[in-house]
Structure 1
Amino acid sequence: MPSDEFLDGESLTGRQAGIIFFGFLSFIILSGVALVLFRGLF
């Protein structure tokens, strides 16, 4: 689907909100894991 349609707040469905939420949450977790790994390497 087009990105402007996906990011339209009024037409945001629960499934899309869940995908955005879990994607953002997984991004934070992966960033934390990467930070720990880089800290262990250097």
Structure 2
Amino acid sequence: MSLGEVLDGEALTGKQAVAIFFGWLGLVVLAGLLLVVSLPF
């Protein structure tokens, strides 16, 4: 499956939607943790 088919939305399955959701969630959490860790104490 090409990236165009995934981005099209019609071929997006439930598993793909969950994987994308948790992928973005993981990136946001990771970015937040890096921001907190990089703050000077």
Shorter-chain TM band: 0.7 to 0.9
What do you get for the CA RMSD once the two structures are aligned?
A: 1.5
Structure 2 match to 1:36: 36
Q: Tell me, which stretches of 5 or more residues in structure 1 are unaligned?
A: none
Q: Partners of 2:32 and 2:9 in 1: how far apart?
A: 29
Q: Tell me, which stretches of 5 or more residues in structure 2 are unaligned?
A: none
Relative CO higher for 1 or 2, CA cutoff 8 Å, sep ≥ 6?
1
Q: Give the structure-1-normalised TM-score.
A: 0.81
Q: Give the structure-2-normalised TM-score.
A: 0.83
Identity across the alignment (%): 51
Superimposed CA distance per residue, residues 8-34 of structure 1 (whole angstroms, 9 cap, x where no aligned partner): 211110011011100010011001100
- The runs of at least 4 consecutive aligned structure 1 residues that moved more than 2 Å come to none
